[in-house]
Chain A
């Protein structure tokens, strides 16, 4: 009862643990999703984006603990690239003249 988690688990890294083995994760990511880059510069840039996304996934995990967040096929894309390429809802509101569905009974 006197032991806290801190005493039971000894910290052996510098704290940026979500980046631990980032290079290895990036290699696995490229293999899994068949990613290849045209030049070394592009590769290095994508690796930097990938590392940012590892940190982002860790933030998402803290904000959304009931789901699992991590490396996905979009992990080498910036949020702006992701929005531009894979999201496409053009308007944020419905037309004013849209038909309203009738209210349905929901009790019983």
Chain B
């Protein structure tokens, strides 16, 4: 594994988006992962539609009653991959633009599919495996506890205590080997995470969180997706 790795430098990451006042983080995490996978498959970076997921994806967990993807009220990335697989794919952002509101109608147009899911899977709770899957398969959809993100401005976040109760969907796009940590007097490796709260939040829309201890549950729910070649 390389010591440092960043999919942004390789052109696999679209500009930071903004979910607005809508609990649709899960859809941004999903599109981000598929945008990266589609880039690996086709060599082209295409921004995909979160609004299609918000409006059209109501995939449910068969094991848990009422646990369904539900627009601004929340969802799960794996369910969204399942929806995308069943629906046939996702449209371009420009063909189905984001409004950040729940609507009753789904405007999915099958003739305008821009990216398809071939398969998806979850990655084991092992940081080397997470890094290997990131390097091999592209950006990963991950869940995190976002309590420290409400006040985060920059730097490598490495709280002494952080709940592992997952409540936010984000995109893992890379890692670094040495984020400077003056207080603890040592260099700290970190994950680079793309968020969906606009470029004015965090480090131009990105979050750095330290590696090594499943901080804020960042290693707990990691999903990788492969894109299918469009026919």
Contact = CB atoms under 8 A, between A and B. Distances in A.
A90 B119 contact: no
Chain B interface, >50% SS class: mixed
Chain A interface, >50% SS class: loop
A45 interface: no
Contacts, number: 162
7 contacts: A79-B150, A87-B146, A87-B167, A88-B168, A89-B143, A89-B168, A98-B122
Contacts of B74: 87-90
Given A90-B69, A92-B166, A98-B121, A70 B150 contact: no
Contacts of B169: 88-89
A46 interface: no
Contact of A66 (B119, B143, B179): B179
A24 interface: no
Interface string B139-159: 000010011101111111111
Nearest to A88: B23
Interface of B: 1, 19, 21-26, 61-64, 67-70, 72-76, 78-79, 119-124, 128-129, 131-133, 136, 143, 146-148, 150-161, 165-169, 179, 181-184, 188, 197-198, 200-201, 208, 210, 221, 223-224
